[in-house]
Each structure stands twice: as structure tokens, then as C-alpha cells.
Structure 1
Amino acid sequence: MAIVLAALTAVAMMVFPGAPAGAVTVDAHCLGGFSRNFSPAITVTPQTVTVSGTYDYGTCLVGATATGSESVTLSLGCVPVTAGPAFTETVTWHDATGGTSTIDWAAPTIAGQTVVYTGTVTAGRHAGDTATKVTSGTSYLGSVVGCLLGTPISDTTGLVDSFLLTH
């Protein structure tokens, strides 16, 4: 019996550990949506395109609501769907404290319509935090067939499934 209790205690400590001195603190955890504009519009032939993105972090489980913006220039065509380069996003917080955060995102990882971003808050509010964002591009992949048939893609929309800042 003592062995069973010791084993259960060990498992419970792995699943529900106490808060050690270096415990992770969540500064923001939000959901929302995003939109991106492509200039010029994406076509079958790859070309240099400026992508301007806006994010609405409008539902927050922890922290204040916020909006974000980013712009990056890269070569794009309808296919292949590429992950894109690293980029910087400026987040504006919408509460009494206000302020902005600058997040340097690494090149994202794509799995189907899900895109995972990891980065660091390099300046402003929550500087030093680790940043993670997961999005679902609900309109881009649906536009690829039309693009291959000659209809350029000038904008896309999607969901921010998770925007998380921790330290």
C-alpha cells in the first residue's frame, strides 16, 4: 500500500506540481481574429509582395485586450504556401495602463491551416516575455484554387486561436 501511495504522490507532483520559484506567469492570453492585405495581390507567378497584417486580440482570458500590426515584404505566389520570414509586430494595449509591446517573431511553422508563431517581447510593456501565437487562416487556402485559375488574392482573414505572453 505504501508503494502505491508513493507512486500516486509522484504522479500527482508531475501532473500538479507546486509553484517553484521559477514558475511561469501569464501576462496575457487572448483570442481574436486577423486580416492581411497583399500588395500587389498574390498571383500564380511569384513576385515581391508587401504583406500588411492586423490582429484583434479582443477576447482575453488574462490581461487587457489589444490590437497588433505587422508588415513584411517577401516573394509570394499562389503555391507553394510558405511559412514566411521572421517579422516584428507592434501590439497596442487597450486598458488604463495602455502602452505598446514590440514582439520579434521567428519564422512561423505551418501545419495545414494552422500557423504557430514563437517570439520574444523585445520592448515596451511585458518586455522580456516569451510570446506564442496560434492562428487559423480560414480564407487563404480556400482562395488558392481561385488564384490558380487566375483570380489574384488581395486579402485574407482568419482566427487567432491563442495569443500568449508569459514570463
Structure 2
Amino acid sequence: MSVAPDPFEALALERQVCFALAVTNRAVLAIYRPLLEPLGLTHPQYLVMLALWDNAQSKKGPLTVKEIAGLLQLDSATMSPMLKRLESLELIARTRSLVDERTTHISLTRKGAALRRRAVKIPPAVVEQLGVSLSELEHLREVLTRINTAALGGGTSATALA
């Protein structure tokens, strides 16, 4: 005679994907904090700089606030204080579009572009502190990207473990 599965087992805290993601997010950001401190950046500011450095490498010209917000999956209003702080640090320049004054273009300053050379040490330091292989982290990023895409698209294939 088999025992029927406990329907409440799916509610166990340790089985929740949301809990694992939240705890991991806090732990990983705690690793970034002291690494970013010498650069004078918070983690959200670092993400903005990554977007700008990527864009500068492709020589596409300045990004708009809306484009950066889209890349980082943030709303434009969240960006304003962060961009003001990066501008006060002289890492970026904000300029109004000549075509549409509601649009603000964000570009790297020389100081912001130069900071990239110091930031290149961050990813390997994070990998080392996490103690997992680069291939494991790349696989995790791929899985998380698929989960994010599904969650944003509203398409859920939720199971008892979700």
C-alpha cells in the first residue's frame, strides 16, 4: 500500500524557487559590494555602466534613458536618480535630444570609459568567490534567462515546485 503524497509538501520553504532566487540574489550581491566599492559604484550603477561599455564597444552612439531602462528591465523613473549620481561622479554625460527634448541621451565620459579597465577584474573575482566553474555559471545564466523570458511573457508552465 503506497502513501499518497502530501499536498502541502509543495509549500515547503526549501522547495520554493522564489526563495532560492531571493536568497541567492542577496548572497551574490554581497559578493559584488566590496568588489565594486573601490570603483565607487553600487551594483545597479555597475549594471548601467556595463550597458554603456557594451554599447560603446559596438560604436552605436549614446543610449537613451529608455533604452538603458529596457536593457536593465527597469522603469525609466528608477533610472533618473542613478544616472544623476553617475553624472555627479563624472562617469556619464546626459544630453537632451535635439530632435525630441523629452529624450535624454546617455554617453560615457573619458573617466567612465577608463573605469572599464578597472572593472575587468570584477567578473573573475566573482567567479573565484562563488567557487563554481565558469561553465556552471554560464549554464545558470542561460536557465535564468529562459525563466525570466517565460515570467515576463506571462507564459508559465508552473509545477508544484514553482
Shorter-chain TM-score: what band?
under 0.3
Normalised TM-score (structure 1) = 0.23
Normalised TM-score (structure 2) = 0.24
Which structure shows the bigger proportion of residues in strand conformation?
1
